[in-house]
């Protein structure tokens, strides 16, 4: 390889968009690769566990499957880095490193630029923590709100509202042709994890002798969640005294999923009411649902019907809820002027 080609390779950059989520984290890269992982990180408890799992650190489904052998961490509580333990900070750093290695070949020496999405009302300390976690793997960084990244990715940059329903938070952002300010954004904490806990409580109340845990309940929700009238009864297998037994959880599922609706409606109406009155009707007709919670059956039609009481309304769901945040962050990174980047 000539000196000229070596210099060119050193100047090449791999640009990535990262969506750090409480439940799942995703990355999209300028080389065309996109990957995701459940936001779990685990270290073997002892040398026996290390021999069993065959690795010094595990991620995502691998970590969940071997959780009895691991010190398991889900470090992104409410979409932000949990403070107070060095292990949680290390877990986020390992998670980011893992995501980058999934899209960057080992022999690739290109420098990395990253746009990372965080909840809409993240405190400054979280942005500092993200920068610290990324510093070993990227040369420059931009931290943006997740709903802004989504809006950029679907080209909803003017007179639109994005509602990103994640596991830890629901983030709201009104777009009006400029980079959104703090006044244009909101975060509420009654999100996917809240539904899981509500569903668990409702099921435990109705079936006190059945044996299930929160991970099982989360899987039930992801497969059967709905709002309004069910298309069919929701029946799941749960052990009772070690024997798999069918349980009807239709009503519990409906109640749990609908538990987040008041906060969504209240926050949506509040943000629209504070916006320029000439454009409120337009915003109400251009609402975009994203995140895992956007897949709850009937949630788009419910919100559309409620908002229609205030005038014509239209609510749409993004086509790719898993990667829309990472794809939007990547699009933003590709278009970002040089002076917006911050070295890490």
pLDDT tens for each residue of 94-145: 999 999 999 998 777 778 999 998 887 665 567 777 888 888 888 888 888 8
**The predicted structure's pLDDT at residue 133:** 84
* Domain co-membership, 285 together with 297: yes
* Domain co-membership, 330 together with 216: no
Average pLDDT over residues 3-27: 74
Measured in whole angstroms, how far is the alpha carbon of residue 327 from the centre of its chain? 13
pLDDT band, very low/low/confident/very high, at 260 (cuts 50, 70, 90):
very high
* Domain co-membership, 44 together with 177: no
On the question of pLDDT at 221 being above 80, the answer is yes
* Domain co-membership, 123 together with 137: yes
**The predicted structure's pLDDT at residue 120:** 74
Tokens of 57: 């650190």
Summarize pLDDT for 267-318 with one digit per residue, the tens: 999 999 999 999 999 999 999 999 999 999 999 999 999 999 999 999 999 9
Summarize pLDDT for 69-82 with one digit per residue, the tens: 999 998 887 667 76
Residue bearing the bigger pLDDT, 122 or 26: 26
The answer to whether residues 292 and 169 touch, using CB atoms and an 8 Å cutoff, is no
* Domain co-membership, 7 together with 137: yes
Number of DSSP helices (H) and strands (E) in the chain, helices first: 13, 16
Query: How many domains would you assign to the chain?
Result: 3
* Domain co-membership, 17 together with 95: yes
* Mean residue pLDDT across the chain: 90
Tokens of 184: 């244009």
**The predicted structure's pLDDT at residue 124:** 59
H or E, element range at 6:
helix 3-11
Give the global pTM: 0.90
CATH of the domain at 217: 3.30.420.40
**The predicted structure's pLDDT at residue 342:** 74
* Domain co-membership, 165 together with 298: yes
Average pLDDT over residues 173-201: 93
* 33: helix, strand or coil: coil
The boundaries of the domain holding residue 238 are 192-258
* Domain co-membership, 176 together with 200: no
pLDDT band, very low/low/confident/very high, at 6 (cuts 50, 70, 90):
very low
Last residue of a domain, one of 212, 233, 258: 258
Residues 287, 300: Cα–Cα separation, whole Å? 9
Average pLDDT over residues 64-92: 82
Q: How many other CB atoms are found less than 10 A from the CB of residue 173?
A: 25
On the question of pLDDT at 11 being above 80, the answer is no
* Domain co-membership, 61 together with 102: yes
* Domain co-membership, 140 together with 10: yes
What is the percent of the chain where pLDDT is above 90?
73
Q: Which residue has the tokens 């519990």?
A: 252
* Domain co-membership, 213 together with 339: no
Residues 46, 25: Cα–Cα separation, whole Å? 27
320: nearest Cα among 287, 294, 286? 294
Last residue of a domain, one of 238, 258, 278: 258
**The predicted structure's pLDDT at residue 83:** 61
* Domain co-membership, 186 together with 196: no
Choose the weakest-confidence range: 9-18, 216-225, 237-246, 267-276: 9-18
Strands (E), the chain: 13-19, 24-29, 34-38, 41-44, 58-59, 70-73, 111-118, 140-145, 158-165, 170-176, 185-188, 235-240, 243-248, 287-290, 315-317, 342-343
**The predicted structure's pLDDT at residue 284:** 96
On the question of pLDDT at 7 being above 50, the answer is no
Q: How many other CB atoms are found less than 10 A from the CB of residue 76?
A: 27
């Amino acid at each position: 390889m000539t000196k000229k080609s070596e210099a060119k390779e050193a100047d090449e950059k791999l640009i990535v968009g990262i969506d750090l989520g409480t439940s799942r984290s995703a990355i999209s890269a300028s080389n065309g690769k996109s990957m995701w992982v459940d936001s779990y990180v685990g270290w073997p408890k002892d040398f026996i566990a290390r021999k069993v799992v065959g690795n010094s650190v595990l991620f995502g489904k691998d970590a969940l499957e071997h959780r009895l052998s691991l010190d398991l961490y889900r470090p992104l509580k409410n979409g932000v880095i949990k403070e107070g333990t060095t292990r949680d900070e290390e877990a986020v750093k390992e998670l980011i490193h893992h995501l980058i290695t999934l899209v960057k070949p080992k022999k690739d020496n290109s420098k990395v630029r990253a746009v990372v999405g965080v909840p809409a009302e993240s405190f400054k300390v979280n942005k500092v923590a993200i920068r610290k976690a990324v510093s070993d793997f990227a040369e420059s960084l931009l931290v943006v709100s997740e709903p802004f990244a989504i809006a950029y990715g679907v080209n909803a940059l003017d007179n639109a509202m994005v509602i990103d329903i994640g596991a830890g938070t629901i983030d709201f952002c009104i777009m009006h042709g400029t980079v959104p300010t703090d006044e244009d954004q909101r975060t509420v904490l009654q999100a996917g994890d809240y539904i899981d806990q509500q569903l668990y409580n409702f099921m435990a109340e109705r079936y006190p002798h059945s044996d299930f845990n929160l991970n099982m309940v989360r899987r039930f929700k992801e497969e059967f969640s709905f709002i309004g009238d069910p298309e069919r009864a929701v029946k799941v297998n749960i052990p009772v005294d070690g024997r798999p037994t069918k349980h009807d959880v239709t009503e519990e599922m409906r109640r749990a999923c609908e538990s987040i609706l008041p906060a969504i409606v209240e926050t949506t109406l509040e943000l629209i009411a504070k916006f320029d009155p000439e454009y409120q009707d337009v915003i109400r007709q251009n609402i975009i649902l994203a995140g895992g919670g956007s897949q709850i059956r009937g949630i788009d039609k419910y919100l559309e019907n409620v908002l229609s009481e205030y005038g014509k309304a239209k609510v749409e769901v993004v086509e790719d809820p898993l990667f829309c945040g990472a794809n939007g962050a990547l699009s933003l990174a590709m278009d970002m002027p040089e002076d917006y980047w911050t070295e890490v």
